Amino acid sequence: MTVATTRRALLCAVGALIIGTSAVFAQDKIKLRLSSVNTETDSRAIGLIEKFGPGVAGFAEFEPHWNGALFKQGTELEAIARGNLEMSIGSAQELSSFFPEFTILTAGYVHQSAEHQVAVFNDPIMDPLKAKVEAELGVKLLTVMYLGKRQINLKGDKEIKTPADMAGIKLRMPGSDAWQFLGGALGASPVPVAFPELYTALQTGAVDGQDNPLPTVIDSKFFEVTNQIVMTSHLVDLNYLTISKAVWDGLSADQQAAVQAAADAAAEHARQLQLQKETEAVAFLTEKGLKVYEPDVAAFREAVQAAYLASDYAKDWPAGMLDRINELAK
């Protein structure tokens, strides 16, 4: 048994004990606290507030906490595993720190669209990964949420055409190894910065740029402290809406069905909002004075995919999964 496996098992056992004990003293309504670094105006937040909360209101009190106010970015899954939190919006990158198989879902240019993400999540190819997260971490993946196509957002006037042009650029990426690897694959020098600290890091020059979907650039006002958008579309990014497996197992079958339906409705609502925001974002950012342009995307795709296939990450990818993901994109 590896150290990582032991750690996951211990977290899961402790979480189940805490939540199981607290359930004895539970009031009529279950409290579902969600912790996320998103702002409350983010599409995912809007979807959850407008669809998930009302969808479970008959038996649960949905209590979201935004801007990392309850738990810091990257600590939410462990908080659920320990029984200190009920729900979160987690990433494949975070899950890959526990389960290396998830790195296939973090690789650049693998997912092709929002619809492709849903098809992959609902395909039987995902069942072993979902089951492993439940069994070893005590976290259930409810649904997939569309974050958007990530673009490179930079300070300065240097024009970026190929990954070689990214050399020496301090590109903020989230702190996990999977995120840092992607930053390097893009040709940059990746720098870990927590999302709530990113605006200041850009403003002060601690980093030269960041990567996020365009609606996030607008929502978090990064356009105020940057000059250009390089439309690499290097990652069709996703999040997973997660819930404690112990909490899930404590629900009745009808309650479970309601939670699942509410989660799917929230994800779809957020997905449509985000797609609309992406459509409108280029015009908004151009109006704000940012230069928005497309580099040699083929050169970026070739470099990024080559980096992943040559890395140790690819050794952990489940056999046949990449082929199946590609089939689902057709």
Q: What is the dihedral of CA 87, 89, 90, 92, to 10 degrees?
A: 140
Enumerate the domain spans of the chain: 3-147+237-277, 150-236+279-328
**Tell me: the pLDDT tens digits for 191-202?**
999 999 999 999
**What predicted TM-score, i.e. pTM, was given to this entire model?**
0.82
Whether the CB-CB separation of 292 and 227 falls below 8 Å is answered with no
pLDDT at residue 3, as a whole number: 42
pLDDT at residue 286, as a whole number: 97
How many whole angstroms separate alpha carbon 259 and alpha carbon 255? 6
pLDDT at residue 330, as a whole number: 84
pLDDT at residue 251, as a whole number: 98
**Tell me: the pLDDT tens digits for 237-280?**
999 999 999 999 999 999 999 999 999 999 999 999 999 999 99
pLDDT at residue 38, as a whole number: 87
What is the dotted CATH code of the domain comprising 3-147+237-277? 3.40.190.170
> What tokens were used for 189?
């020098």
The yes-or-no answer to whether 3-147+237-277 and 150-236+279-328 have a common fold is yes
pLDDT at residue 126, as a whole number: 98
CA dihedral sign, ordered 115, 118, 122, 128 = positive
Query: For the purposes of burial, counting CB atoms within 10 Å of the CB of 255, is it exposed (0-12), middle (13-18) or buried (19 or more)?
Result: middle
What is the dotted CATH code of the domain comprising 150-236+279-328? 3.40.190.170
Other beta carbons within 10 Å of 136: 18
Residues 210, 211, 217, CA angle at the centre, nearest 5°?
85
Closest by CA position to 236, among listed 324, 139, 112: 112
- Point out the residues of the chain with pLDDT beneath 50: 1, 3, 18, 20-26
SS3 187: coil
**Non-local CB neighbours of 42 within 8 Å, separated by 6+ positions:** 66, 215, 216, 219
Residue at 106: amino acid letter? T
Whether the CB-CB separation of 278 and 214 falls below 8 Å is answered with yes
> What tokens were used for 270?
């957020």
pLDDT at residue 26, as a whole number: 44
Q: Which H/E stretch holds residue 51? A: none
Output Rg (C-alpha) for the chain, integer angstroms: 20
> What tokens were used for 97?
């720190």
pLDDT at residue 15, as a whole number: 53
pLDDT at residue 74, as a whole number: 86
Bridge partners for 228 per DSSP? 154, 291
How many whole angstroms separate alpha carbon 89 and alpha carbon 66? 11
Burial 230-249 (b: 16+ CB within 10 A, else e): bebbbbbbbbbbbbbbbbbe
Residue the block writes with tokens 């579309």: 233
